[in-house]
Structure 1
């Protein structure tokens, strides 16, 4: 598998903005992030958001990013528009829900789909929210700290992993 891009944002553009205009916080592409167990990504808007938060980090599939660009004829669409942290290629994200896995020495617990919201129709294109249902990415908790970098990445299921559903 391959980590194609990594993004962080210091503030919320959509979360907590229902009924208001979207925020204008930048989504910044970076080469590496410090993942902190139980807390999130240093420098990201959800760092220390709340105890045991299920969305300490989010993953989005490169294959779905490429497909939505084709579907909506958006050749120049930035992957940052989706507000997901890590864009990965060659990893079936839906299979990681409820499982612990290790990537570049950092351990995660997949907690569920990063469900698209109505803001995607504004940030991407009309109809994007519906198109993204079932392929919005993966939300996860960070269970072992470490640095995650763009580039080729070793992946393995954690010995502590189970096929049981994630905690809700």
Structure 2
């Protein structure tokens, strides 16, 4: 078996999202629960094996290998054209924790390790499984978004290091 070659690149953290509550519960036809409008954070604190401080999945045993979700914003660019939308949806509506530009997140395989360094030191993550989109995408983006995002919903990860991430340019190593 051939060893995989390390890739080093510059990408961008477009948005960081931490939410203490789960806004997409119940039936999409009823609309999201009254959760504050998603807001991109100016930084997130990452804890190894636990997730993002303040997030609803932080230190939850059932979510240890899926505590952090990473998403490629290019998927929203693509579905904007596919669905004929007037504007690209906010990257926060998909409610993924880390939204990147310039990295094909959905190509990560189970147990792939990658690091992000936005200036405060590298933080490593291990990919575990796809972050499949849900039917809520049809309600919060547009009809057809759920289907259009299949295979492009991001990946669920476990953080391997403590650290800090900020929006903006990020050094990325796989």
Which residue does the alignment assign to 1:55?
66
Moved more, 134-143 or 95-104: 95-104
**1:67 maps to what in 2?**
78
Correspondent of 2:156 among 114, 123, 139: 139
- CA distance, structure 1, for counterparts of residue 162 and residue 109 of structure 2: 19
Unaligned runs of 5+ in 2: 1-10
Query: How many Å separate the matches in 2 of 1:52 and 1:128?
Result: 25
Gaps of 5+ in 1: 158-168
Q: State how far apart, in whole Å, the 2-side matches of 1:13 and 1:52 are.
A: 17
Deviates more, 1:123-132 or 1:64-73: 64-73
Structure-2 residue corresponding to 1:93: 105
Match in the other structure for 1:82? 94
Q: Which moved more, 1:112-121 or 1:46-55?
A: 46-55
The equivalent residue for 1:163 is none
Q: TM-score, normalised by structure 1?
A: 0.84
- CA 1:12–1:74 in structure 2 vs 1: closer, same or farther (change >3 Å)? farther
Q: For residue 64 of structure 1, give the secondary structure of its aligned residue in structure 2.
A: helix
Deviation at 1:49, TM superposition (A): 2.1
* Counterpart selection for 2:124 from 97, 107, 122: 107
Q: Do the aligned partners of 1:9 and 1:28 also contact (CA within 8 Å) in 2?
A: no
1:44 and 1:52 map into 2 onto residues whose CA distance is 11
Distance in 2 of aligned mates of 1:156 and 1:76: 28
* 32 and 62 in structure 1: CA distance in 2 versus 1, 3 angstrom threshold: same
Preserved CA contact (<8 Å) 1:55 1:140: yes
* Partner residue in 2 for 1:117: 134
Identify if the C-alpha distance between structure 1 residues 31 and 13 changes in structure 2 by more than 3 Å, giving closer, same or farther: same
Bigger mean CA offset, 139-148 vs 18-27 = 18-27
Instruction: Go from structure 1 to structure 2 and tell me whether the alpha carbon gap of 1:131 and 1:51 turns closer, same or farther (over 3 Å shift).
Output: closer
* TM-score (norm: length of structure 2): 0.81
CA distance in 2, matches of 1:61, 1:156: 16
Query: 2-side partners of 1:58 and 1:81: how far apart?
Result: 13
How far has the Cα of 1:152 moved from its partner? 1.1
Which whole-Å deviations, capped at 9, do the CAs of 1:101-153 have from their partners, x for residues lacking one?
11111110011211011111111111111110000111111111100111111
Alignment coverage as a number of residue pairs = 155
